[in-house]
Chain A
């Protein structure tokens, strides 16, 4: 076990006052807190910083640490608490748990080793942690209740050792789910290692991108490619929806980017059903032939249309 110099971790002098320690901690928290810094390793770094601050902000713990530092603060060398060291067990959680802290911390300040009667209060067994897994859901699956077997790994205590075990669970995925929603499975999270309740398992719903449909809330959008003559003359297309095909009449002179609403063919909400929007785009054939070119030329000669008429005013 290595000695941890909490002053060095916070980047402050050993003589620093409480205010300087707090300022240093808050700056490092701003930099490394996992809620504001998603980078790998930030969380670990923050744990170290939080541990250092938990000790240095507490006058009693800081005094104890200063004593130890004189004794064992040799960098590089392994650290062992002095043989006559009395673990104070003095760490009073202010919303934090010493379980997250290092062995070094627990060997010095951890509970249990203190003089008898120092603690006095009995601790409630710790509840197991909640677990969360991503649940990819196809759009088609949100329309009705679905049964699904999910598989995940959670830590389990076996013969005094923590191992990762695979768990399978059959669950009902209720209809009308939206992206980002969470489903809670009570007591299916990490078991408690101290005889308490198991944590919950949360399924974080992620809608799988669909090859045809885009999702906005409960509405869907499908992009419909049209040949130039279809856009000009109008046509009928067979339009796929989530629940089957429908026939859609495209009026003559349909512009690219125009939207048509097909009511009630969107996603199923908990209260209402969304709509499907068809957005048109005009696609040129990949290759052309002489005859087609002639016909286009004919059209070009007879049509009095300037698609860039707006540009004329801006010289």
Chain B
């Protein structure tokens, strides 16, 4: 049986390849992700779902050579788009149930 974890600590995140301490601090200070625990960076704990967001933010900043404000906007818009797509798909399904049968 393998333990399932819904969290990841700051130290563990720094241990991930290509993720530097300062990068994570920038990502948090630009509200791209918010730790669920901890005041000081060293005590931060994130939801496991934050990991792909953090990785994506680091990737966008590096690959596009853009600043953190731009990264934050990009991620925000991408997340809004995904949420709208999900909502749209859900409404479509509901509408089908309402019309058909």
Contact = CB atoms under 8 A, between A and B. Distances in A.
A126 B4 contact: no
B15 interface: yes
Contacts of A127: 15-17
Contacts of B1: 147, 170-172
Interface string B37-77: 00000000001110110001011101111000000000000
Contacts of B64: 26, 29-30, 33
Contacts of A172: 1, 3-4
Contacts of B20: 95
Interface of A: 22, 26, 29-30, 33, 35, 46, 50, 94-97, 126-127, 129-130, 132, 147, 169-174, 179-186, 188, 197, 202-203, 209, 214-216, 221, 223, 225, 257, 279, 281, 283
Majority-rule SS of A interface residues: mixed
Contacts of B86: 179-180
29 contacts: A26-B64, A33-B63, A33-B64, A95-B18, A95-B58, A126-B17, A127-B16, A129-B17, A130-B16, A171-B2, A171-B4, A172-B1, A172-B3, A172-B4, A180-B86, A181-B6, A182-B51, A183-B4, A183-B5, A183-B6, A183-B48, A184-B8, A184-B51, A185-B4, A214-B90, A214-B94, A216-B90, A225-B101, A257-B98
Contacts of B48: 181-184, 202
Contacts of A225: 101
Given A95-B18, A130-B16, A182-B48, A173 B101 contact: no
A197 B15 contact: yes
A182 B65 contact: no
Contacts of B65: 22, 26
Contact of B93 (A26, A181, A209, A281): A209
B5 A184 contact: yes
Contact of A202 (B51, B58, B97): B51
Interface string B1-28: 1111111100000011110100000000
A79 B58 CA distance: 35
Interface residues of B, number: 34
A68 to B, nearest CB: 25
A35 B56 contact: yes
A130 B51 CA distance: 10
Contacts of A26: 64-65
Nearest to A279: B98
A173 B2 CA distance: 11
Nearest to B15: A127
Given A129-B17, A214-B94, A225-B101, A95 B62 contact: yes
The 5 A-B residue pairs with the shortest CB-CB distance, nearest first, are A184-B48, A95-B62, A223-B97, A182-B49, A184-B5
Contacts of A126: 17
Contacts of B5: 183-186
Given A26-B64, A35-B60, 4 more contacts: A129-B17, A174-B4, A184-B6, A186-B3
